């Protein structure tokens, strides 16, 4: 190859191109390669403002629980008001999720669980999600249709973990059906015990990220009540 040929194969990058490359490299380096992907969906209708405030404060339990297991990436979804459904980008830090939840207020409206399940299936088909976590207190939709979607989730190995606030019997029965069809779990929780919900969220994050053995290790120093609520996950 002649010196002329060598000269022609060289590429000269402009300062702006070099700066752009370095910025992109730093951005990628700042995002950990998370072991687990969780979709975190919350009912933000008017009845749930106190529980929404609570969820905002304790969602970092999921990140903390999976820190030694390779980390976590999480997408926040919520519905509220009249036909409003929102999903965030995939987030890698608890503070990023908390910041997005900070300014959101609950608005009156019916449940939109169908949109949550449909969105989860769409995301899962693009890139695998280990679990869908849903926090809510009511089901006001056609349960047969929701069950059809939950059945698809089960076939695609996308479990639904439903955390039910309160004790509405219809919601309880419906959520139990959905979680069973998706091979997930239904867990009631008490809003008067935020520490319990934090431990439950952490338990599901660990289970979805690293499996049963990691969950058993996580539960060793947790309360007996949390162990009882999650015992079916370790069977």
Tens-digit pLDDT profile for residues 42-99: 998 877 777 777 777 787 788 888 877 777 899 999 999 999 999 999 998 888 888 8
- How far apart are alpha carbons 169 and 123 in whole angstroms? 30
In a domain, 162, yes or no: no
4: pLDDT strictly greater than 90:
no
22: pLDDT strictly greater than 60:
no
Least confident of 20-24, 115-119, 163-167, 211-215: 20-24
In a domain, 90, yes or no: yes
User: Domain containing 131 — which CATH number?
Assistant: 3.40.50.410
In a domain, 118, yes or no: yes
Cα distance between the two ends of the chain: 67
Residues 223 and 196: beta-carbon distance below 8 Å: yes
Of 164 and 231, more confident = 164
Residues 6+ apart with CB under 8 A from 107: 44, 45, 46, 80, 81, 84
In a domain, 5, yes or no: no
Question: For position 120, what pLDDT does the model report?
Answer: 98
Beta strands 131-136 and 160-165 are parallel
In a domain, 22, yes or no: no
170: pLDDT strictly greater than 80:
yes
In a domain, 163, yes or no: no
Question: For position 9, what pLDDT does the model report?
Answer: 44
What residues make up the domain containing 95? 35-141+191-233
222 DSSP assignment:
S
Q: Could you give the percent of the chain with pLDDT greater than 90?
A: 42
Number of domains in the chain: 1
In a domain, 119, yes or no: yes
In a domain, 48, yes or no: yes
- How far apart are alpha carbons 6 and 117 in whole angstroms? 57
């Amino acid at each position: 190859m002649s010196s002329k040929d060598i000269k022609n194969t060289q590429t000269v990058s402009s300062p702006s191109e070099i700066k752009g490359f370095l910025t992109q490299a730093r951005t990628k380096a700042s995002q950990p390669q998370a072991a687990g992907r969780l979709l975190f969906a919350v009912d933000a209708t008017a009845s749930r403002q106190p529980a929404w405030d609570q969820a905002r404060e304790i969602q970092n339990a999921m990140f903390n629980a999976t820190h030694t297991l390779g980390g976590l990436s999480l997408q926040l979804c919520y519905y509220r008001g009249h036909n409003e459904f929102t999903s965030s980008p995939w987030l890698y830090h608890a503070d990023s999720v908390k910041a997005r939840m900070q300014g959101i207020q609950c608005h009156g409206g019916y449940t939109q669980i169908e949109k949550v399940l449909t969105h989860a299936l769409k995301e899962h088909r693009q890139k695998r999600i280990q679990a869908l976590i849903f926090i809510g207190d009511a089901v006001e939709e056609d349960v047969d249709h929701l069950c059809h979607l939950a059945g698809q989730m089960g076939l695609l190995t996308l479990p639904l973990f439903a955390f039910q606030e309160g004790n509405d019997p219809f919601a309880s029965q419906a959520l139990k059906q959905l979680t069973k069809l998706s091979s997930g779990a239904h867990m009631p929780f008490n809003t008067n015990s935020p520490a319990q919900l934090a431990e439950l969220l952490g338990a599901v994050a660990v289970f979805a990220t690293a499996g049963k053995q990691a969950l058993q290790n996580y539960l060793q120093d947790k309360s007996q009540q949390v162990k009882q609520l999650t015992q079916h996950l370790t069977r």
